[in-house]
């Protein structure tokens, strides 16, 4: 366990930014993935995320970084969200800018703060295990590491990046923490099977926990201009100058994922620790993974989402998302994905689920922004 | 050519009955197949059928047999349709009852009339060739035969029945007429290929042309009770008793296709003549055949039907029928069939197109008649 002092200094950060293009037409610019209930829990992924973190941080110590357009929806989902804990982006600048800005604001308000960033739109089962692992990560952060949580793989997934854990770090309060040998990109199936057999590879779930000053320092090593921008923003954030500085600086920030700006260089320098997470996790990145989530892995089950869905299907597997109440009949189509919304319909297969993003790109190009 | 006398005695009959269950959810109880434009001609199949027959019969000599529920729609399609030429069924009793009733009514009104029955929902290209063949059939009918038109096959179709032609009949005005060796049910692909190679097999398009009295006589030989019912109906038809007799007799009539009640026995007895039809014909019985009709046989073309359709598809083939104006995106699905209507959506494949009827059956069983 981390020292109570470290836990007291902990702040959760929820970047709620991505639209989830591979979940079109369910996810839209005005209804991004984190505002949907994809698990059947009865509440949105964002709310699930909040409820998972609240017992660790307390409601007063969770910051949400989201787009201006989503402010009302986010606040409706989380009435507990304190006004200073809402950070609005005028436009998306990728994860380093989002998390780095939160780190810079919080470090200025509260030097020595430890932050943990957790995506608003992932699914985790086993909140108690999750929190135990986060507490280990906080202890590792308190010891000066940038800590990440690597999910113990349950299958040879090819949709995730992997983290190769190495030696035990022996950090007080973080007995599971390992040094990180390397980050590896999404593998092919053969490689993924090898990773699974070797047992030292963990899924990269994009969760990072560290002292804010150390995170910023790491950003500065690799992206000094980006850090300068973030510090300028943080300096003005709680002053009347915020609006003008945001308008001037935010659009100039380099778009770069935190994996590249921080995690990989830190791993190479031995400053990264990974805590294996023995809980169920999924980034529900496409409809195939939602189908899998709902079928519990049973191949012949057709998952059906949507209130009042009317589906008539023969032996089909796959997923139907119904937001219209129309009768949907599927005949002789296997591993099918049908997403039925009032103004747009998607028909694809599990094998093509990742390609849905290309539809969004094509719709943009063809000027069909009314359905984006 | 038939004698002008025979042509003068000719009457076209259009049974407009079938819903076209394999075309659900496009075809419905209240919008059956014959009321749709499936060819892109800009008008319904019924209207196409009328326009094809009008130059032979004249507008005053075409009778339409349809369901009571479709009267208004039929009359809207064909303002030329004379009131005495509308025969309304209180419920469907299959083709022998429909065509037999028309024959009995017309024979009573005009003894010696020659009738030709032509489905309201088939597609024919080449109206001039079609009419030349019908004229030969009228000549054969005038000579005392029950004549049928057999379509010269262009491919080894397995969705149609076949008629095996035999010897030339040498009928004045019907030089192409052949005796009929046999009717054969829908073959498998191997058999269909053999038929095509042998060259004597024609597609059974369900077109029958004969003297009304001979048709009725033939019905009487095989289905004497059905004939008695038809004659009773015809006797009362043009009198105030019609309503009462229809209510009493029509529901008792045996449901049997004219192929079984008339054509096959007549062929066996040497009373059937077949005229080969060298024109394009299709019964557009399912969405796969509509797709084929629109793609002109090009395998990689996606056919799109529906005004204002918005379809975004990658290399898919198949057919999209859009009656909603929604954006329809297809990703990585080949030979796909998507039929998008305001209250029902069908997703299937060309290979499963024939199974769509089973959806309609299942919807009936499950009490979902609102979408039938």
What are A312-334's pLDDT values in tens digits?
998 778 999 999 999 999 999 98
Q: How far apart are CA A193 and CA B270, in angstroms?
A: 72
Placement of tokens 């859009």 in the chain: B322
Residue A362 touches chain B, beta carbons under 8 Å: yes
| Chain A residue numbers touching B368 (CB-CB < 8 A) | 310, 312, 327
Picking from B310, B351, B355, the residue whose alpha carbon sits closest to that of residue B330 is: B310
Q: What is the mean pLDDT of residues A214-223?
A: 98
**A345: closest chain B residue by CA:** B328
Residue A328 touches chain B, beta carbons under 8 Å: yes
Residue B326 touches chain A, beta carbons under 8 Å: yes
Contact B326 A344 (CB under 8 A): yes
Q: What is the mean pLDDT of residues B20-43?
A: 91
Strand partners, B181: none
- Tell me if residue B344 falls in helix, strand or coil: strand
| Chain A residue numbers touching B323 (CB-CB < 8 A) | none
CATH number of A4-282: 3.90.550.10
Residue B360 touches chain A, beta carbons under 8 Å: no
Q: Between A80 and B296, where is the model more confident?
A: A80
Name residues whose C-beta falls within 8 Å of residue A163's C-beta, 6 or more positions apart in sequence.
Answer: A148, A150, A180, A182, A183, A184, A201, A202, A203, A204, A267, A274
How confident is residue B317, by pLDDT bands cut at 50, 70 and 90?
confident
**B331: closest chain A residue by CA:** A348
> Chain-wide mean pLDDT for chain B?
93
Q: How far apart are CA B34 and CA B49, in angstroms?
A: 9
Q: How far apart are CA B72 and CA A360, in angstroms?
A: 44
| B contact test, residue of A288, A315, A321, A331 with most B CBs within 10 A | A331
| A contact test, residue of B324, B345, B362 with most A CBs within 10 A | B345
Q: What percent of chain A has pLDDT over 90?
A: 84
Residue B348 touches chain A, beta carbons under 8 Å: yes
What is the arrangement of strands in the sheet containing A336-340, beginning at the earlier edge strand? A302-305, A318-322, A336-340, A344-349, B327-331, B310-313
Of A111-115, A347-351, A368-372, B274-278, the range with the lowest mean pLDDT is A368-372
Q: What is the pLDDT of residues B204-228, one digit of tens each?
A: 999 999 999 999 999 999 999 999 9
Residue A369 touches chain B, beta carbons under 8 Å: no
Q: Is 0.85 exceeded by the ipTM?
A: yes
- Tell me if residue A168 falls in helix, strand or coil: strand
Give CA angle at A47 (A43, A49), nearest 5°: 120
Contact B347, B333 (CB under 8 A): no
Burial code (b: 16+ CB inside 10 Å, e: under 16) for A113-137 equals: bbbbbbbbbbbbeeeeebebbbbbb
Query: A191: buried, middle or exposed (CB in 10 Å: 19+, 13-18, 0-12)?
Result: middle
How confident is residue B298, by pLDDT bands cut at 50, 70 and 90?
low
How confident is residue A252, by pLDDT bands cut at 50, 70 and 90?
very high
| Chain A residue numbers touching B333 (CB-CB < 8 A) | 336, 347-349, 352
Q: What is the pLDDT of residues B319-369, one digit of tens each?
A: 999 999 999 999 999 899 999 999 999 999 999 999 999 999 999 998 888
Of A133-142, A241-250, A357-366, B270-279, the range with the lowest mean pLDDT is A357-366
Q: What is the mean pLDDT of residues B10-30?
A: 92
Residue A255, both tokens = 């778009």
How confident is residue B17, by pLDDT bands cut at 50, 70 and 90?
confident
Q: How far apart are CA B21 and CA B30, in angstroms?
A: 12
Which ranges constitute the DSSP H helices of chain B?
Answer: 4-8, 45-57, 71-77, 94-109, 127-142, 189-198, 212-222, 224-237, 242-249, 258, 264-268, 287-295, 356-365
Phi, then psi, of A123 in degrees rounded to 5: -115, 130
Q: How distant is the Cα of B283 from the closest Cα of chain A, in angstroms?
A: 22
How confident is residue B1, by pLDDT bands cut at 50, 70 and 90?
low
Q: What percent of chain B has pLDDT over 90?
A: 83
Phi, then psi, of B294 in degrees rounded to 5: -85, -30
How confident is residue B24, by pLDDT bands cut at 50, 70 and 90?
very high
Q: What is the pLDDT of residues B112-137, one digit of tens each?
A: 999 999 999 999 999 999 999 999 99
3-state helix, strand, coil in chain A (%, to 5): 40, 25, 30
pLDDT value of residue A316:
72
Q: What is the pLDDT of residues A269-305, one digit of tens each?
A: 999 999 999 999 999 999 999 988 887 656 668 889 9
Q: What is the pLDDT of residues B148-168, one digit of tens each?
A: 999 999 999 988 999 999 999
Name residues whose C-beta falls within 8 Å of residue B363's C-beta, 6 or more positions apart in sequence.
Answer: A312, A327, A329, B24, B369, B371, B372
pLDDT value of residue A53:
98
Residue A323 touches chain B, beta carbons under 8 Å: no
| Chain B residue numbers touching A327 (CB-CB < 8 A) | 25, 343-345, 363, 368, 371
Q: How far apart are CA B165 and CA A254, in angstroms?
A: 78
pTM of the predicted model as reported, rounded to 2 decimal places:
0.87
pLDDT value of residue B141:
98
Domain spans in chain B, listed from the N-terminal domain onward: 4-282, 289-371
| Chain A residue numbers touching B326 (CB-CB < 8 A) | 342-345
Contact B91, B247 (CB under 8 A): no
Q: What is the mean pLDDT of residues A245-268?
A: 95
| Chain B residue numbers touching A348 (CB-CB < 8 A) | 329-333
Q: What is the pLDDT of residues A37-74, one digit of tens each?
A: 998 888 999 999 999 999 999 999 999 999 999 999 99
| Chain B residue numbers touching A356 (CB-CB < 8 A) | 329, 331
Q: What is the mean pLDDT of residues A70-82?
A: 96
Number of C-beta neighbours around residue A177 at 10 A:
24
């Amino acid at each position: 366990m981390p020292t109570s002092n470290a836990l007291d200094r902990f702040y959760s950060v929820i970047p709620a930014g991505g639209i989830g293009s591979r979940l079109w037409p369910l996810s839209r610019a005005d209804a991004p993935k984190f505002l949907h209930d994809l698990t059947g829990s009865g509440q949105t992924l964002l709310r699930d995320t909040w409820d998972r973190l609240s017992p660790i941080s307390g409601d007063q110590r969770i910051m949400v970084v989201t787009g201006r357009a989503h402010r009302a929806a986010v606040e409706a989902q989380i009435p507990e969200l304190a006004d200073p804990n809402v950070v609005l982006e005028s436009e998306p600048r990728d994860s380093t800018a989002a998390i780095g800005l939160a780190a810079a604001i919080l470090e200025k308000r509260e030097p020595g703060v430890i932050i943990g960033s957790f995506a608003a739109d992932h699914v985790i089962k086993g909140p108690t295990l999750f929190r135990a692992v986060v507490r280990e990560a906080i202890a590792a952060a308190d010891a000066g590491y940038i800590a990440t949580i690597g999910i113990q793989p349950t299958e040879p997934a090819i949709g995730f990046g992997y983290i190769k854990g190495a030696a035990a770090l022996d950090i007080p309060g973080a007995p599971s923490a390992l040094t990180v040998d390397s980050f590896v990109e999404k593998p092919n199936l053969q490689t993924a099977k090898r990773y699974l057999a070797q047992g030292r590879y963990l899924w990269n779930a994009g969760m990072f926990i560290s002292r804010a000053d150390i995170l910023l320092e790491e950003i500065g090593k690799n992206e000094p201009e980006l850090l300068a921008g973030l510090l300028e923003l943080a300096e003005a954030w709680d002053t009347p100058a915020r609006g003008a500085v945001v308008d001037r600086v935010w659009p100039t920030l380099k778009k770069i994922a935190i994996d590249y700006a921080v995690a990989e260089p830190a791993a190479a320098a031995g400053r990264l620790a990974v805590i294996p997470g023995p809980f169920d996790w999924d980034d529900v990145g496409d409809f195939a993974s939602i189908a899998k989530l709902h079928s519990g892995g049973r191949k012949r089950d057709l998952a059906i989402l949507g209130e009042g869905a009317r589906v008539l299907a023969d032996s089909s597997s796959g997923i139907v998302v119904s937001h219209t109440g129309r009768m949907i009949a599927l005949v002789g189509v296997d591993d099918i994905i049908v997403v039925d919304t009032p103004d747009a319909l998607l028909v694809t297969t599990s094998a093509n689920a990742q390609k849905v993003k290309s539809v969004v790109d094509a719709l943009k190009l063809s000027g069909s922004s009314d359905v984006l």
